[in-house]
Amino acid sequence: MLDSDIAELYGVSVKRLNEQVKRNPKRFPPDFMFQLSINENKRLISIRSQIATLKRGQHRKYLSYVFTEHGVTMLASVLNSEKAVEISVYVVRAFIKLREMLATHKNLIKEFEKIKRVQKTHGQHIINILNVISQLLNPPVPEPPKEPLGFRERK
């Protein structure tokens, strides 16, 4: 996401957002954010100027920053606007919920594996059911359809 879009989302100015990034450089490694090149920035400005005309004083003096999802999350922790604090709390709660879901998923898989190991005492039908459930928990990624080779008649 662009710094200007994140600033709007968190209810702060772009200047304030970029100040916090510069004050906390250890929190923003290269895989969390990067700065656009001059050519990329010019291209971005030309695209945006086609969408809407900027008002006086809204032209940028500096190259835009772009943030990955990790950078956006980190920004929520360094900015002190009401919206940024709200989003930061939301992100923490989402990670806690995700961890709970993964723990439940792992426990379920462990139980299936235990049952599979003692297959001599269970019928083959139960083993087949467990295999189907395992496949549902880890579905294969479908291959994209391939174009047929050869001559095709136009319709």
Find, among 122, 84, 96, 78, the residue nearest to 8 by Cα: 84
* Structural domains in the chain (count): 2
Chain segment 83-139, per-residue pLDDT in tens: 888 887 887 788 788 778 777 777 777 777 776 666 555 566 666 666 777 777 776
> What pLDDT band is residue 71 in, cutting at 50, 70 and 90?
confident
Same domain? For 16 and 48 the reply is: yes
Query: Structural domain of residue 41, as residue ranges?
Result: 3-80
Looking at residue 125, what is its pLDDT? 61
Q: Decide: pTM greater than 0.75.
A: no
Same domain? For 13 and 44 the reply is: yes
Same domain? For 66 and 18 the reply is: yes
**Spatial separation of the C-alpha atoms in residues 116 and 137, rounded to whole Å:** 16
**Spatial separation of the C-alpha atoms in residues 41 and 35, rounded to whole Å:** 9
Same domain? For 52 and 107 the reply is: no
Same domain? For 18 and 68 the reply is: yes
> What pLDDT band is residue 19 in, cutting at 50, 70 and 90?
very high
Instruction: Please indicate, yes or no, if residue 152 is contained in any of the structural domains.
Output: no
Looking at residue 56, what is its pLDDT? 44
